[in-house]
Amino acid sequence: MEVFQSHRKSSSNNVIVSILPFYRSAPPLEVRLEDFEFFAMDRLRVLKGISDGLCRGKKPEEMEKLVVDLWKANMRHPQAVEEVNKDIISHFVLRLVYCRTEELRKWFLSMETTLFRHRFRLESSEAQRALMSEFKLPYKAVSNAEFESVKDKLGQVARSMGQNLAAADAIFYKVPFEEVPDLVSGRRVFIHKGHAYVAMNQVVSLVVTQFRSYISKALILTNRKWTSTIREQEKDRLTPIVEALCTSYLGPDYSQPQEFGEISIKDIDQVAKTSFPLCMRHLFEKVKEDHHLKHGGRMQLGLFLKGVGLKLDDALAFWKAEFAPKVSAERFDKEYAYNIRHNYGREGKRTDYTPYSCQKIISVTPGIGDHHGCPYRHFSEENLRAALVRMGLSSRAVEDVMDKVHNRHYQLACTLTFEAVHGSSCDAGINHPNQYFIDSQRVLQSKNGSVA
């Protein structure tokens, strides 16, 4: 396993190992199957946390803190060697998971690069220098004497870009100008006799660019290996784990209705109006209108209702009553009841199915006659605007939501909708329809002193 180690001496003269791997090659370690999955899930929490932070437009300083917190929460280990192992193993497992389509690769590359960028910035300068030589970047640190002689020019360059030459940036690297064409092109460096003087923050960009390009190529190779050999070879062992990982939702699963206990059948109409997210409102309205829903819709709404607290008997009664104009009682019992019981874990292998998360709902594409999926993604602009207005959003709020939709931030759109409907902010963002419901009930209860 190629792991770069740099040593930092603490004041008590103990050598502290500070390690930032850049995943050159897969580790020849033995990994337990559980660790294979769990390490990957922990790292995935970090990456999804980063993704979330980026979506919310967090500034670089905030992102840096977020990365530190996420890493501490999920990847820390008291023994440095164990931490490094987990770091490397989890990265390589996720490579398998995320190499398989263009979209997955793009996401993974983006998150891993951001993670690397912030971790690199947090390293000591010796560690950074050593990493740069590992990347074979021909950078030489500028000596103090030389720095003094060019300080004015370096300051000029910084100010020409609207920045200041802070004392912290007094670390500069000298490199042949041919190595940094982008910086030369934009006149973002001082050049003298063929050498460019590159500031520390610019160096970070360059290292990160190298990292990104390396991981990008590695992902393509991994994909080839996956499709040609690994997937088949591992179909009984690793493949199922890998395939499940990227769709895994990592928050609470809402399979057991919590705080508000039960919702009875007579409450549904009321709570649908006040506390259902748009996707479920739509399905609910459609089932009332059409007296029918196709399978996808029944699953999505049915499991949601289970999570909301609808008991099995009430669920059966609900669907039977709604379908009654089109489906006789006998036919209902024959064709639909079984599936509902199945969803509640009373049939077949008795899996207690969990309600779908936003990620899952967004990823499906409804067909003709379907009403499930995420409306922020699939509704036409016209229909979506109309639906938002019906939910009571002001035109300003509608514009804000549509802006998120145009940028394909569907969950943020739903979050803004929640905030507009309830008049209170939702910092955590919406990740699950049942979360929307619970948060909504919470807000309403605190306003009215009772469940709406």
Query: Look-up: residue for tokens 């099995």?
Result: 312
The window from 31-39, 191-199, 230-238, 363-371 that contacts other proteins (CB under 8 A) reads: 191-199
Cα separation, 171 vs 123, whole angstroms: 14
Backbone dihedral angles phi then psi of residue 286, each to the nearest 5 degrees: -70, -40
Nearer to other proteins, 151 or 331 (CB): 151
The window from 123-131, 135-143, 179-187, 444-452 that contacts other proteins (CB under 8 A) reads: 179-187
> Does 358 appear as a known binding residue?
yes
How many binding residues for other proteins (CB under 8 A)? Answer: 21
User: In angstroms, what CA-CA distances link 450 with 272, 443, 445?
Assistant: 16, 10, 5
The yes or no reply on residue 195 touching other proteins (CB under 8 A) is yes
> Which of 171, 184, 200, 364 contacts other proteins by CB under 8 A?
184
Other residues' Cβ atoms within 10 Å of the Cβ of residue 446: 9
Residue among 336, 333, 358, 354 nearest 345 (CA): 354
Minimum gap (Å) between residue 194 Cβ and other proteins:
3
The window from 64-72, 174-182, 217-225, 287-295 that contacts other proteins (CB under 8 A) reads: 174-182
Nearer to other proteins, 189 or 426 (CB): 189
Cα separation, 376 vs 41, whole angstroms: 28
Nearer to other proteins, 193 or 349 (CB): 193
Residue among 185, 189, 216 nearest 203 (CA): 189
Cα separation, 322 vs 325, whole angstroms: 7
Nearer to other proteins, 209 or 247 (CB): 209
DSSP-derived letter for residue 317 is H
The window from 48-56, 67-75, 177-185, 439-447 that contacts other proteins (CB under 8 A) reads: 177-185
The yes or no reply on residue 214 touching other proteins (CB under 8 A) is no
The yes or no reply on residue 181 touching other proteins (CB under 8 A) is yes
**Interface positions, 141-160, toward other proteins (CB under 8 A):** 153, 156-157, 159-160
Q: Are 47 and 94 in contact (CB under 8 A)?
A: yes
Minimum gap (Å) between residue 160 Cβ and other proteins:
4
> Which of 65, 77, 187, 235 contacts other proteins by CB under 8 A?
187
Dihedral angle computed from the Cα positions of residues 254, 304, 282 and 287, in that order, rounded to the nearest 10 degrees: -170
Backbone dihedral angles phi then psi of residue 370, each to the nearest 5 degrees: -90, 150
> Does 55 appear as a known binding residue?
no
Residue among 4, 275, 200, 242 nearest 104 (CA): 242
The window from 49-57, 76-84, 188-196, 389-397 that contacts other proteins (CB under 8 A) reads: 188-196
The yes or no reply on residue 178 touching other proteins (CB under 8 A) is yes
CA quadruple 416, 418, 423, 425: dihedral positive or negative? negative
The yes or no reply on residue 140 touching other proteins (CB under 8 A) is no
CA quadruple 294, 360, 101, 90: dihedral positive or negative? negative
Nearer to other proteins, 54 or 150 (CB): 150
Nearer to other proteins, 161 or 221 (CB): 161
Q: Are 287 and 301 in contact (CB under 8 A)?
A: yes
In the annotated binding site for [4Fe-4S] cluster, the residues are: 279, 358, 374, 414
Residues that bind other proteins (CB under 8 A): 153, 156-157, 159-162, 177-178, 181-182, 184-187, 190-195
